[in-house]
Amino acid sequence: MLKRLTSAFCILLFACWIAGFGIAVFRSSQHPKGTQQNKPTSAPEQKNQKDIGDERLADYTLLLAWFTGVLAVSTVGLWIVTWRGGDKQSRDTQESLRLTAIAATAATAQAEIARKALTDIERPYLFIFNVSRLTVEDFFDMDEEEIGHALKASYDVANHGKIPAIIESLHSNLSVFTDPLDPLAADYNHPLVIAPVLAAGEKRADIPVDIGWNDMGTNEYGNTVPNFGQHTLFLRVVIGYRGPFTRGHETSIGLRYDERTNRFVEFYTGEKYNYQT
């Protein structure tokens, strides 16, 4: 709006200048004739050669003045058109740069989405599943010279990704407490530590986990069962792994033992312990 007002004001100002210039030139061109008319009537009426030359010079001067005025108006008009065209071109350039920036941002975001999609597809995925029922095994404790008891369970691990998985860390345990305890690092002779590479689609079955437990009792059927009192038996398994091109993956499960079904199930804070990254 301000630019339009400025343009209109400039046009009006130059129009006034041209009008004033034309009036001034016209009056100046009429001056010699007025002077000629103010001469006494007694002067000779016949014009000499000098007067004719002066009149022609005045006419040429008037014509030149008007031509100069037209040229000035054309120049001003050309300047206004050029200024407005440059201003429009500047706005168009700014709009083009803005659209180019938006397109570049969209292209970058699209490339990042495509890269992430490809990474999510072309990577290993380890899953821990098929946890067995809890079993109780007796053994003879040589140190105590008495019969001991071990609580045992097993689970399967499979790579459902499209490329091999390399296990970098393994922590697992059975713990009896009010909440799950942090799992312990696996020993050097653990099956997944000995052979840490799982090919795409490979499955490792019956991976053992156990805990010694001596507080035992019998159920209504006469079977030996563990007595946990006010506590709960938990199973935790956390596997850190990588792929040939990706790193920092982890899969985890956290389950509690259900005495009624003799199975391990998720509990109310299951999302904290059951995840895949």
Instruction: Write the secondary structure of 117-169 as one string of H (helix), E (strand) and C (coil).
Output: HHHHHCCCCEEEECCCCCEEEEEEECCCCEEEEEEEEEEEEEECCCCCEEEEE
> Angle at the Cα of 147 (from 144 to 148), degrees rounded to 5?
85
pLDDT in tens, the chain (277 residues): 655 655 665 666 666 666 666 665 555 555 544 444 444 544 455 556 766 766 767 766 767 777 677 777 777 777 777 777 777 778 878 888 888 888 888 888 887 777 666 667 789 999 999 999 999 988 877 776 778 889 999 999 999 999 999 999 999 999 999 999 999 999 999 999 999 999 999 999 999 999 999 898 887 777 788 999 999 999 999 999 999 989 999 999 999 999 888 999 988 766 789 999 9
CATH fold of 126-276: Immunoglobulin-like (2.60.40)
d(CA 108, CA 187): 46
Per residue in 17-65, pLDDT (tens digit) is 666 666 655 555 555 444 444 445 444 555 567 667 667 677 667 677 7
Cα–Cα dist 87/93, whole Å: 10
Those residues whose C-beta lies under 8 Å from the C-beta of residue 229, and which sit 6 or more positions away, are 215
Cα radius of gyration (the chain): 50
For residue 212, give Cα distances in angstroms to 82, 131, 219: 93, 19, 19
What residue has token string 């050029």?
Answer: 82
Domain residue ranges in the chain:
2-27+56-121, 126-276
Could you tell me which of 225, 127, 236 has the C-alpha nearest to residue 180? Answer: 236
Identity of the residue numbered 28: S
Please classify residue 196 by burial: count the beta carbons closer than 10 Å to its beta carbon, then call 0-12 exposed, 13-18 middle and 19+ buried. middle
Phi, psi of 201 (to 5 degrees): 85, 0
Q: CA angle, 60 as apex, 57 and 65 as ends, to 5°?
A: 125
Q: Determine which helix (DSSP H) or strand (DSSP E) holds 261, and give its type and residue range.
A: none
| 8 Å CB contact between 55 and 96 | no
The pLDDT of residue 181: 93
DSSP 3-state of 242: strand
